Amino acid sequence: MPPAVVIAANVLVAAGFAIVGAVFRENTFASSTIEVVSDQRVITTGPYRIVRHPMYAGAVVLLAATPLALGSWWSLLVVPLFIGVIVWRLLDEERVLAATLPGYAAYLATTRARLIPGIW
């Protein structure tokens, strides 16, 4: 693995962690479980202004960059599988939140990008 690729990948890993950290700072409702708690509200500030699922976007950056940061071309083979799992999870999360969190359907209409602004 060329050193420049490893260095760039390490920068992306750090950026992925920074994105995830920004999500936890902005959204105290973030959880590993898809659920709506009694006082939960839709978060539309910080990274949520840009994409609907900024934590998953940060995770995709981490997942894609980690094999390169570790110098493993072979590890890149599992990245599409993990991205598929993240996409499945976020679609399920959107379905649950649209049905149970007041204001989430309006947020879906105003914040079009799920993971990548201007693309999806």
Q: What pLDDT is attached to residue 17? A: 97
**SS3 category, 51:** coil
In a domain, 120, yes or no: no
Q: For residue 32, is pLDDT > 90?
A: no
* CA-only gyration radius of the chain, Å: 16
Q: For residue 33, is pLDDT > 90?
A: no
In a domain, 117, yes or no: no
In a domain, 12, yes or no: yes
Q: Which of 42, 10, 49, 38 is nearest to 27 (CA)?
A: 42
* Residues 89-112: tens digit of each pLDDT: 999 999 999 999 999 999 999 999
In a domain, 37, yes or no: yes
Q: What pLDDT is attached to residue 107? A: 96
Tokens of 53: 């699922």
Distances (CA, A) of 8 to 44, 48, 60: 30, 26, 16
What does pTM read for this prediction?
Answer: 0.91
